[in-house]
Amino acid sequence: MDKKQHIAIFTTASLPWMTGTAVNPLFRAVYLAKDGERKVTLVIPWLSLKHQLLVYPNNITFRSPSEQEKYVRQWVEESTGFISGFNIKFYPGKFAVDKRSILAVGDISEAIPDEEADIAVLEEPEHLTWFHHGKRWKTKFRLVIGIIHTNYLEYVKREKNVMQAFLLKYVNSWLVSIYCHKVIRLSAATQDYPRSIVCNVHGVNPKFLNIGEKKIEQQHRGSPAFTKGAYYIGKMVWSKGYKELLKLLHDHQEELSGLAVDLFGNGEDSDQVKEAAKKLELMVRVYPGRDHADPQFHDYKVFLNPSTTDVVCTASAEALAMGKIVVCANHPSNDFFRQFPNCQTFDDGNGFVNATSMALAEEPAQLTDTERYELSWEAATERFLRAAEVDQRFSKKLAKIPSRSFASTSLNLRKNLEDASAYLHYAASGFEVSRQVFGAIPGSLRPDEEQCEELGLPVSRVK
List, for residues 337-388, the tens digit of each pLDDT value.
999 999 999 999 999 999 999 999 999 999 999 999 999 999 999 999 999 9
Cβ(117)–Cβ(138) under 8 Å? no
In the chain, CATH 3.40.50.2000 sits at 206-375
Whether cis (ω within 30° of 0) applies to the bond prior to 364 is no
Q: What's at 72, amino acid-wise?
A: V
Q: Which pairing describes strands 182-185 and 143-148: parallel, antiparallel, or unpaired?
A: parallel
Q: Write the pLDDT tens digit of every residue in 257-283.
A: 999 999 999 988 999 999 999 999 999
Instruction: In whole angstroms, give the CA distance from residue 109 to residue 11.
Output: 12
Other residues' Cβ atoms within 10 Å of the Cβ of residue 446? 17
Q: What is the mean pLDDT of residues 380-406?
A: 65
* 104 touches 128 (CB < 8 A): yes
Identify the CA nearest to 204 among candidates 16, 14, 9, 27: 27
For residue 171, what pLDDT is reported?
84
Between 313 and 428, the higher pLDDT residue: 313
- Residue 195: its pLDDT value, please? 86
Span between the terminal Cα atoms of the chain, in Å: 43
What's the confidence (pLDDT) of residue 421? 84
State the DSSP H helix or E strand holding residue 287, giving kind and residue range, or none if neither.
strand 283-287
The number of angstroms, rounded, from the C-alpha of 121 to the middle of its chain's C-alpha atoms is 13
Q: What sign for the dihedral angle of Cα 389, 393, 398, 399?
A: negative
Q: What pLDDT shows up at residue 2?
A: 58
Q: What is the mean pLDDT of the chain?
A: 89
The distance of Cα 128 from the centroid of its chain, to the nearest Å, equals: 13
Residue 184: strand, helix, or coil: strand
Is the pTM above the cut of 0.85?
Answer: yes
Per-residue pLDDT at 110:
94
Give the confidence band of 166 by pLDDT, cuts at 50, 70, 90. Answer: low
Assess contact for 221 and 232: CB atoms under 8 A. no
pLDDT band at 325 (very low <50, low <70, confident <90, very high): very high
Q: What pLDDT, on a 0 to 100 scale, did the predictor assign at position 407?
A: 42
Least confident of 209-223, 230-244, 448-462: 448-462
Average pLDDT over residues 179-199: 93
pLDDT, position 310: 87
Residue 385: which residues within 8 A CB-CB, separation 6 or more? 391
* Rounded-to-integer distance, Cα 104 and Cα 447, Å: 9
CATH annotation of 206-375: 3.40.50.2000
**Cα separations (Å) of 36 from 85, 86, 88, 202?**
7, 9, 16, 20
Q: What is the DSSP letter of 217?
A: H
The model's pLDDT over 47-96, given as tens digits with 9 standing for 90+, comes to 999 999 999 988 999 999 999 999 999 999 999 999 889 999 999 999 98
Dist CA 145 CA 125 (whole Å): 8
Which pLDDT belongs to residue 355? 97
Q: Note whether 303 and 326 are within 8 A (CB).
A: yes
Residue by residue, DSSP assigns 315-335 as: HHHHHHHTT-EEEEESSGGGG
C-alpha 227/C-alpha 139 separation (Å) is 57
pLDDT at position 255: 94
User: Class of the 6-202+390-395+404-455 domain?
Assistant: alpha beta
Q: Apex CA 74: angle with CA 71 and CA 80, to 5°?
A: 140
In Å, how far are 227, 248, 353, 380, 425 from 324, measured between CA atoms?
A: 11, 21, 18, 21, 47
Alpha carbons 212 and 366: distance in angstroms, whole number? 9
350 vs 433: which has the higher pLDDT: 350
Return the amino acid letter for 171: V
Q: What is the pLDDT of residue 160?
A: 59
Band (162; pLDDT cuts 50, 70, 90): low
Q: How far apart are the C-alpha atoms of 409 and 440, rounded to whole Å? A: 37
Residues 19-50 pLDDT 10s = 899 999 999 999 999 999 999 999 999 999 99
Confidence of residue 397 (pLDDT cuts 50, 70, 90): very low
